[in-house]
Structure 1
Amino acid sequence: MHSLRRWNALLFAALAALAMPGLAGCERAAAPGAADAGTAPVTLVLGDQVRMTRALVEASGAFDGIPYQVEWANFQGAAPLFEALKAGAVDTAPAGDSPTLAAAAAGTPFRIVAVATSSPRGVGIVVPAGSALRSIADLDGQELVVSSARGSIAHYLALGALKEAGVPAERTTLSYLQPVDALTAFKSGHIQAWATFDPYLASAELSGARVLRDGEGINSGDGYLAVSERALADPAKRAALADVVRRLARAQEWRNANIAAYTGLYARITGLAPDIAERVIGRGHTGLQPVTPAAIDRLRRVADVYAAERLLARDIDVARLFDTRLFPATVEP
């Protein structure tokens, strides 16, 4: 606990310089597009996490010839991304189930328009190679750092793993730290146990970290494309977003058919080391799919867990979070 506090003190000066905490870790970049002749150009600001969506788009050429403008806003985690969406700074937010629920409970106005599933092994609780902690049960009375915030997919894993091991959550000190800062602290020996997600998990593993428990059997692996209600209410943006979703679905189909080529491009575009990129992509991903009743039920089960733990600011009508009109199942991507 004290080592993490010392690490947080080192970070304070840098974090204090940020003008908008909700945009911490954000990068913005423009992608050229063309407007239809005689019309004002539509500009979409697409939120992203660790450049994963942007890498997919650039590698596949999915946005070639788009009739609108796109700007990318990159974040290191879902919590600041949803803060930006709530503030109207981005139009979309790709995120996992847990942070999506946390954002909904906080009153963020969005609708889920598409679903994709990745391997639950992309979430894990790790310890340094020489750690005396050998199992989740050993976290009883210890500190567990969680990225990136309460309500993240790593937080959900932490709660599920502790319950599975018979360790009451209140007997473990949960601390929260953004993943870029946490990765540096972990590799520097300031964190003894860390719940995190890819690509930070892959980086830790390849640096020798031991995985005490991954998300298999606890996390659903579901990820969602959330779109702001403000953007959906704008007819021009809504039409552009419908096109974006179909293009993203085709891009994911291309990725799944060209894993080796994509892995190299993903490493180059994101700046990740090739071995980290290979591990992240190698865990597996499905394509972007329309919303189904089964997907809604899976998110409802996650919401029930968080409600039981009193981690949601208010009750959520899960079904109302979804909008099936933008990417209907009857339309081929």
Structure 2
Amino acid sequence: MSDHVSRGPTRRSIVGAAAGGFAALLASGRPSRAAPPTGRTTDTVRLSWLNTLLSGIAKERGDLEKRLLASDGLKVEWVGPFPNHAPSIQAVAGGSADFSFGGSTAVGFAAILGGSPLVFALFGDSLPRSTAIIVRPDSPIRSVKDLVGKSIAANRSGLGEYVLVAALEQHGIARDQVDIVYLNPPDAGPAFASGKVDAWSIWSPVVDIARESYKARDVFTEKDLNHQLDYSSFLVPRAFAEKNPDIIRAVAKAYRDEAAWVNANNREVEYLLQSRVNYSDAIRDKYIQEKREFVIYDVNDRAHLARLQASADWFTAHRVLPDKLTVTDHLAKI
């Protein structure tokens, strides 16, 4: 005869069973996180590039394309070089490139608001910030307040315009108190040198070359700003992103790996860039000392997306952009 005594359900067991059942019910009703999309329709990706940015370094070194071929079976075709981000984005929108080269995000915002069916595939930043408003050595302009009534060259909806507008705001000057002349760098340089414009808002290395070649003086530098609102971005056609999420992920990883190598090999990178852009040893050594670096942000980085939304809102409020834009409506889904 067994000495085991069978007992009925206790209060504790009933409560435990009920709790377990309730938890199971909650779990069954909880929406599961969707798996990331997969797939691709091509074995070739066309990357645009600019000499002095991460894309240009990657093209010159050749490691990025080797990694993509070895790990993902992707062949890279380089498209460019481009003088600034706007024509790179136009190439993507027009179908002659798949990725823009990682330039000013403000230009990307403007293109999307202008109707281009593009999304952001990757974000970045380059440090230290180096854009400046410069004048010729004989200019009577000594401060931002002296820019009132003067003509200043800048690229439309890009880093040059952003720094100029932010500098004016910081010194209590309305943008309609100056004459903003929209020129891309290849046209702005001669206009500045010949005196057709009074000042120029421009980034490195062009600004350093102008300081050296024209003895240009700084009126304001990006380091004087009390906030940063423009970052780097790589844009792709929306249809391309929807059909090729595997390529978006692969290229993002390749650029992330490239940035890590660049940041660890500053001296070698600066010699490489000098050979491409042909600036002086003094400028090269300045960059080596500054230890320039590239930072990469994924399109799902919530903290960075919040910064980008603040950026878009600021650009709209200050008429750099014509309308409001919600950044999260224009991201590649990966």
What range describes the TM-score normalised by the shorter chain of this pair? 0.7 to 0.9
Greater shift, 208-217 or 303-312, is seen at 303-312
Identify the residue that residue 188 of structure 2 maps to in structure 1: 182
1:115 to 102, 114, 123: 123
Report the residue type matching 1:171 in the other structure: Q
Report the residue type matching 2:152 in the other structure: L
2:74 to 68, 76, 79: 68
Identify the residue that residue 149 of structure 2 maps to in structure 1: 141
1:324 offset after TM fit, Å? Answer: 5.5
Report the residue type matching 1:63 in the other structure: E
2:304 to 295, 304, 317: 295
Q: Contact 1:120–1:214 (CA<8 Å) still a contact in 2?
A: no
The structure with more radius of gyration: 2
Q: Contact 1:118–1:221 (CA<8 Å) still a contact in 2?
A: no
Identify the residue that residue 47 of structure 1 maps to in structure 2: 48
Secondary structure in structure 1 of the residue aligned to 2:253: helix
Q: Contact 1:56–1:266 (CA<8 Å) still a contact in 2?
A: no
2:260 to 253, 260, 268: 253
Change (3 A) 1:243 1:250: same
Question: Does 1:244 find its partner at 2:251?
Answer: yes
1:272 offset after TM fit, Å? Answer: 4.3
Secondary structure in structure 1 of the residue aligned to 2:129: helix
2:166 to 140, 147, 160: 160
Question: Does 1:89 find its partner at 2:114?
Answer: no
1:280 offset after TM fit, Å? Answer: 5.3
Structure 1 residues not aligned, in runs of 5+: 1-39, 326-333
Secondary structure in structure 2 of the residue aligned to 1:265: helix
Identify the residue that residue 321 of structure 2 maps to in structure 1: 312
Q: What is the TM-score normalised by the length of structure 1? A: 0.77
Change (3 A) 1:203 1:179: same
1:259 offset after TM fit, Å? Answer: 0.5
Report the residue type matching 2:332 in the other structure: D
Change (3 A) 1:71 1:279: farther
Could you list the per-position Cα deviations for residues 35-87 of structure 1 after superposition, in whole angstroms to 9, with x for gaps in the alignment?
Answer: xxxxx962222122345313234326222252333222221011222222221
Identify the residue that residue 58 of structure 2 maps to in structure 1: 56
Report the residue type matching 1:248 in the other structure: Y
Q: Contact 1:57–1:248 (CA<8 Å) still a contact in 2?
A: no
Alignment partners' CA distance in 1, 2:327 and 2:42: 34
What root-mean-square deviation, in Å, do the aligned CA atoms of Structure 1 and Structure 2 show? Answer: 2.4
Identify the residue that residue 13 of structure 1 maps to in structure 2: none
Q: Contact 1:126–1:213 (CA<8 Å) still a contact in 2?
A: yes
Percentage of pairs with the same residue: 23
Change (3 A) 1:43 1:137: same
Alignment partners' CA distance in 2, 1:45 and 1:51: 18
Could you list the per-position Cα deviations for residues 133-190 of structure 1 after superposition, in whole angstroms to 9, with x for gaps in the alignment?
Answer: 00000001111111x22x1111111111111111111110111111022123323443
Q: Contact 2:313–2:324 (CA<8 Å) still a contact in 1?
A: no
Identify the residue that residue 285 of structure 1 maps to in structure 2: 293
Q: What is the TM-score normalised by the length of structure 2? A: 0.77
Alignment partners' CA distance in 1, 2:320 and 2:60: 37
Secondary structure in structure 1 of the residue aligned to 2:296: coil
1:279 offset after TM fit, Å? Answer: 4.4
Secondary structure in structure 1 of the residue aligned to 2:134: strand
Change (3 A) 1:108 1:41: closer
Q: Contact 1:59–1:266 (CA<8 Å) still a contact in 2?
A: no
Q: Contact 1:97–1:302 (CA<8 Å) still a contact in 2?
A: no
